[in-house]
Amino acid sequence: MEVAIRTGMHRLTPDPTLGVVADDDSRLHKAKLALFELSASGIGPVEVVVYESSIPECKPGYGGGRTMHAIFASTALVEGLAHDELKAMLAHQLVHIERGQGINDRLNEALASGGIRRTAGLAVSRHLEHVADRDIQRFGADPSALAAALKHLPRDRPDSLREHFAKTHPSTSARERRIKIRSVARQVGLRLARPIQKASTLKGRAID
Ligand SMILES: [Zn+2]
């Protein structure tokens, strides 16, 4: 199975030298079950690929020879998360897939080539992470499980990864705070922002 999804600006893409777990691996079954329980029928087939890595991470891309959407999850992530937490993490990736967030990288590239400061694109990137956290409920995932899952993400990455992640993602505590605020707001019947519109088409381009 192909693991080498597009590299480039994203350093978090699985390294092609990392091994993919076998079809009968229990960690793959755990991830498949979590994905199966999400109501992602509007997106089309999404494959889950579990690869060997000691860093808990997860990201969308393409699988099946780039013919279908895929979520790449490391063994450390799958092993470390409870079922509901894993569902929430996968749902976060589904939001990225639905919104075609490869646009994120393309936006940054366009901004850079247009001479616009990259920080503008990075701000958009961080915003889209909050949006992806917010919209996981649309797939049947639990925001409090996502908050719990975030605690498993490494606070300490190798320098290059940490730097990239810190630029493109809000801090974990900022994400946890937003999740909590939304949860409290829901309890009192407040609506902080409109849910996203369903993407009418998914473009056949890289989503990483
Ligand atoms: Zn994300």
The residue ranges of every structural domain in the chain are 26-187
What is the mean predicted confidence (pLDDT) over 28-38? 95
Ligand 1 centroid to 108 CA: how many Å? Answer: 16
pTM for the full model?
A: 0.71
Ligand 1 centroid to 202 CA: how many Å? Answer: 17
Residue among 92, 97, 84, 83 nearest 42 (CA):
97
The pLDDT confidence band at residue 105, using thresholds 50, 70 and 90, is: low
Cα Dmax for the chain: 49
| Counts for the chain of helices (H) and strands (E), in that order | 8, 3
What angle do the packed helices 118-134 and 172-187 form, to 10 degrees? 40
Quick check: 106 pLDDT over 70?
Answer: no
The CA-based dihedral angle spanning residues 104, 105, 107, 110, taken in that order and rounded to the nearest 10 degrees: 180
DSSP state of 11: T
Quick check: 7 pLDDT over 90?
Answer: no
Residue among 82, 186, 69, 206 nearest 134 (CA):
186
More confident residue, 6 or 22: 22
What is the mean predicted confidence (pLDDT) over 13-21? 71
- For the ranges 77-86, 116-125, 165-174, the lowest mean pLDDT is seen at 116-125
* Helix ranges (DSSP H) in the chain: 26-36, 75-80, 83-99, 102-113, 118-134, 143-150, 159-168, 172-187
Ligand 1 centroid to 178 CA: how many Å? Answer: 14
Ligand 1 centroid to 125 CA: how many Å? Answer: 9
Distance CA 187, CA 103 (A): 33
The CA-based dihedral angle spanning residues 79, 154, 185, 193, taken in that order and rounded to the nearest 10 degrees: -100
Ligand 1 centroid to 127 CA: how many Å? Answer: 10
